[in-house]
Amino acid sequence: MTSAIDPGLDLFAEIDRLKHQRKAVILAHYYQDPDIQDLADHLGDSLELAKRARDTDAEVILFCGVHFMAETAKIVNPGKTVVIPDLDAGCSLADACPADRLRAWKQSHPDHFVVMYINCSAATKAESDLICTSSNAEKIIRSIPVDRPILFGPDKNLGAFLSKKLGRKMDLWPGTCMVHETFSAKKIAALKARHPGAKFIAHPECEDHVLALADYVGSTSKLLEFVQKDAGTQFIVGTEINILHTMHKAAPHKELIPVPYEDRSAACQGCNACPHMKLNTIEKIYLALRDLKPRIEMDETLRVRALKPLQRMLELS
Ligand code: 13P
Ligand code: SF4
């Protein structure tokens, strides 16, 4: 794919030129490589980026994140051309809960209300009553009448965290984030012992025994805000490593320590980096803007069905 690029090109200048020519906006998640975060027009967590996509008046949305995020942009703003640098940038949570399996789960729990984490496909969203992200999940769950039983998916760790915090029993789908599940409670405890002043801050996609060690739990944007506002000066950051780039810029005098992980596979070269997010590169961003592909295309009936629970979430957020 990248062989089609003239090696003499200044890709950053070309991306800027094409962005203006295409009337494009570049949205990027905090888990993208630092270079990509730096060239984005808007950086954010899943909720902030969904809102940016909904509200933009650009003609093209270049989404530097993973597939379900770009799909969400298309669902909320179908008149735009939505491109993603690499169509294969998926998510282990989205893969864990295909729509047909969610449909079967619902059929065996007909009186339950279905809340799905935004990390799922459009087809899975279309089977849901309400969507949440990690930054609004508590509010979303609180909006559901207490006598209504809940099916929550696909992230069992986020579900268990919410269940415990809100004192609300929920049936959980057994999905996990392949990045956050590698974080090692044993190594975090050892790190805390070595740095007694450090606060451990963690994303709710982490496992329960890891969250039990946390001084603060929140979505990516809430972790970023915490590091900026908290009086502490040293933080062990329990989420995907690339967010450290923006944290360093936002709080240059604070010391940030990446979370230690267990190597669970021979292929793991840094398990606190998301291999899906990593598929996006500067070269692919240039090609996506040049060729306006790969594009997110969606059947209109599916889009309208997926929009309903997303719209309810956006109204509640
Ligand atoms: P947030 O962007 O909601 O913090 O979620 C993190 C994540 O894993 C996105 O894939
Ligand atoms: Fe999915 Fe985890 Fe990667 Fe986020 S970090 S995109 S939840 S695999």
- Tell me, what's the pLDDT at 261? 83
pLDDT in tens, 224-277: 999 999 999 999 999 999 999 999 999 999 999 999 888 765 555 567 999 999
Q: Are residues 70 and 107 in the same domain?
A: no
Nearest C-alpha to atom 2 of ligand 2 is from which residue? Answer: 177
Q: Considering the entire predicted model, what is its pTM?
A: 0.96
| 34 CB-near residues (< 8 Å, 6+ apart) | 242, 245
pLDDT at 314 over 60: yes
Q: Are residues 29 and 17 in the same domain?
A: yes
Give the helix/strand (H/E) hosting 150: strand 150-153
Q: What is the DSSP string of 50-74?
A: HHHHHH---SEEEEES-HHHHHHHH
Domain assignment present for 267: no
Q: Are residues 36 and 108 in the same domain?
A: no
Mean local confidence (pLDDT), 146-150: 97
We report the CATH number of the domain holding residue 212 as: 3.40.50.10800
Please compute Rg for the chain using Cα positions. 20
Least confidently predicted of 65-74, 110-119, 260-269: 260-269
Q: Are residues 111 and 143 in the same domain?
A: yes
169 contacts 145 by C-beta, under 8 angstroms: no
Domain assignment present for 102: yes
Nearest ligand 2 atom to the CA of 92 is: 8
| 161 CB-near residues (< 8 Å, 6+ apart) | 204, 208, 211, 217
* Ligand 2 center–CA 177 separation, angstroms: 5
Ligand number, closest to the Cα atom of 240:
2
| 205 CB-near residues (< 8 Å, 6+ apart) | 93, 134, 155, 157, 158, 176, 177, 179, 180, 181, 239
For β-strands 81-83 and 60-64, DSSP reports them as: parallel
CA distance 251 to 235: 11
- Tell me, what's the pLDDT at 55? 98
Domain assignment present for 292: yes
Nearest ligand 2 atom to the CA of 68 is: 6
| Angle, CA of 97, 103 and 109, to the nearest 5° | 110
pLDDT in tens, 5-51: 999 999 999 999 999 999 999 999 999 999 999 999 999 999 999 99
- Tell me, what's the pLDDT at 269? 56
CA distance 250 to 228: 7
Domain assignment present for 263: no
Q: In terms of Cα–Cα distance, which of 202, 201, 200 is closest to 190?
A: 200
The answer to whether the CB of 240 is under 6 A from ligand 2 is yes
- Tell me, what's the pLDDT at 260? 85
Domain assignment present for 26: yes
> Which token pair is 59?
């003609």
* Average pLDDT of the chain to the nearest whole number: 96
Domain assignment present for 153: yes
CA distance 99 to 101: 5
Least confidently predicted of 69-83, 177-191, 268-282: 268-282
Which residue's structure tokens are 């669902």?
Answer: 75
Q: Are residues 32 and 70 in the same domain?
A: yes
Domain containing 225: what range?
A: 180-258
The number of residues in the chain equals: 317
Ligand number, closest to the Cα atom of 67:
2
Ligand number, closest to the Cα atom of 93:
2
Nearest ligand 2 atom to the CA of 65 is: 6
Q: Are residues 144 and 196 in the same domain?
A: no
Q: Are residues 169 and 308 in the same domain?
A: yes
* Ligand 1 center–CA 219 separation, angstroms: 7
CA distance 204 to 306: 24
Q: Are residues 14 and 84 in the same domain?
A: yes
pLDDT in tens, 159-182: 999 999 999 999 999 999 999 999
Q: Are residues 77 and 218 in the same domain?
A: no
Q: Are residues 169 and 191 in the same domain?
A: no
Q: Are residues 35 and 76 in the same domain?
A: yes
- What total of structural domains would you count in the chain? 3
Nearest C-alpha to atom 7 of ligand 2 is from which residue? Answer: 177
Q: Are residues 102 and 39 in the same domain?
A: no
Domain assignment present for 225: yes
Domain assignment present for 264: no
pLDDT at 2 over 70: no
> Which token pair is 139?
């509010």
Kindly report the number of other CB atoms within 10 A of residue 249's CB atom: 11
